[in-house]
Homo-oligomer: A and B are copies of this chain.
Amino acid sequence: MHIKEVYSLVKNGLDGVNEQFKMLASHQGDGFPELQRMLSHILSGRGKAVRPLLALHSGSLYRCDQQKIIFMATASELMHIATLVHDDAIDKADVRRGQETINKIWGTDKAIIFGDYLFAKAAEYAVATGSLRVVGLFSKTLGAISYGELKQGFSAFNLEQSYEQYIKRITGKTASLFALSTEGGAILGSAPEEYIKILSEYGLNLGISFQIVDDIFDYIGTEEEMGKPVGSDLAQGTVTLPTLMLMERYPNDNPVKRIFENEGDKAKSIEEAIDMVRRSDIVDRCYRVASDYSEKAARNLQLLPDTPNRRALYTMAEYVIKRKK
C-alpha cells in the first residue's frame, strides 16, 4: 500500500479530528483572544498526524463507533502537542516544524500554563470516548512520558548510559503514546483482548523505531527538512543511539565528550560529531536497530485479520524507516 492510501483510507476520521481542532481553536478562545491565537498557532502547525492515524486504523479493524475513535485520535494528538509545548519551553527551542514555538512568541511562563491547558483538553477528549479503561491508559501514558522526560533531564550531559537505558527512555518518552493510540483505538473498536494486546505491542515497537529514526535525523537531516536546527540533541545533552555508538567507537578524543564537558567551541564540536557520524557506518547500524523494531511491529500484525486497515498499519511500519523527515 502506498503511504498516501494510509491517509486516504481514514480520510473521514482525519477530517473529524481536524474538525475538533477547528472547534477548539474557535470556541475555547471566546472572550480571550490571546488563548485563541495560541490555539490557532499550535493547531495550524501540525505534523504528520501519526498518532491519529494509528488510533483510526487500529479502531477500524472491527466494529467501531467512528465518533469515539475520532475523540480518541484527537486526545492522543493533543497530548502529543502538549508535551511538545513543554519540551520546547524546557529546551528553549525557537523553531518547531518550521514555525516559531509558543515559548519563543509568548515566553516560557505562558508556555507552561498553555501546555497544562492542552493536557486538560486532551483529558476531556479522552473522557468523551466514554471508556474509563481508555482514560486510565491516558493517565498511565502521561505518567510514562513525564517519567521518561524526567529521566532524560536527569541523565542529560551524562555519557554513562547503556543502550538498554536509552531504549527504556524512548519507550516512555515516545513509544508509550504510540501504544496508547493503537491500544485505545483497538479497545474502542471492540477488538478481542488478544488483538488489543497485539496492537499495543505493535504501537510500542513502532514508536521505538520512530524515535530512533528521529534521533538519526538529528545527525543526518537538514534544518529545512526537520524544521529545527541539526544537532539539537547534542546541544541539549540528550544521549541518543548514534551518540552512544560514536562514543563506543571513539571512547577517547571525542567531540561529544568535549560538548558534554563544556570544553572548547561547542558549535564546532557539534559539527565535528555530525561529520564523524555521517562518514561512519553508524547511521547504517542505527537504521538496522530501528528496522529490527519496525519489523517486529509488522510481524505482530500477521496475527490480525487481513483488512485494508491492517495493511495500512503494515505500511506505516515500513514507512517509519523509509521516511525522509
Residues in chain B near residue A113, CB distance under 8 A: 86, 90, 146, 149-150, 153
Closest-CB distance, A193 to chain B (whole angstroms): 19
Q: How far is the CA of A149 from the CA of B119 in the complex (A)?
A: 14
Given A116-B146, A120-B140, A124-B140; 10 other pairs, CB 8 A cutoff: A35-B150, A86-B116, A90-B113, A110-B153, A113-B153, A116-B142, A120-B139, A123-B135, A124-B143, A126-B139
Closest-CB distance, A30 to chain B (whole angstroms): 11
| Dominant SS among interface residues on chain A | helix
* Cross-interface CB contact of A130 among B110, B132, B153, B154, cutoff 8 Å: B132
14 residue pairs A–B, Cβ–Cβ below 8 Å? A35-B147, A35-B150, A83-B116, A113-B146, A115-B116, A117-B143, A119-B142, A120-B140, A120-B143, A123-B123, A126-B139, A127-B136, A131-B132, A132-B132
Q: How far is the CA of A146 from the CA of B139 in the complex (A)?
A: 18
Q: How many monomers of this chain does the complex have?
A: 2
Q: How far is the CA of A145 from the CA of B83 in the complex (A)?
A: 18
Q: How far is the CA of A310 from the CA of B314 in the complex (A)?
A: 59
| A53-80 interface (Cβ within 8 A of B) | none
Residues in chain B near residue A131, CB distance under 8 A: 132
Q: Assign chain A's interface to a size class.
A: 35 or more
State whether B135 touches A127 (Cβ < 8 A). yes
Residues in chain B near residue A149, CB distance under 8 A: 113, 116
State whether B112 touches A32 (Cβ < 8 A). no
Residues in chain B near residue A135, CB distance under 8 A: 123, 127, 132, 135
In the assembled complex, A34 has its CB within 8 A of some CB on chain B: yes
In the assembled complex, A104 has its CB within 8 A of some CB on chain B: no
A83, closest chain B residue (CB): B116
State whether A124 touches B109 (Cβ < 8 A). no
Closest-CB distance, A35 to chain B (whole angstroms): 6
State whether A117 touches B35 (Cβ < 8 A). no
In the assembled complex, A114 has its CB within 8 A of some CB on chain B: yes
Decide: A112 near B89, CB < 8 A? Known: A117-B147, A151-B32: yes
Residues in chain B near residue A110, CB distance under 8 A: 150, 153-154
State whether B32 touches A114 (Cβ < 8 A). no
Residues in chain B near residue A130, CB distance under 8 A: 132
Closest-CB distance, A144 to chain B (whole angstroms): 8
Residues in chain B near residue A83, CB distance under 8 A: 116
Closest-CB distance, A173 to chain B (whole angstroms): 11
A137, closest chain B residue (CB): B127
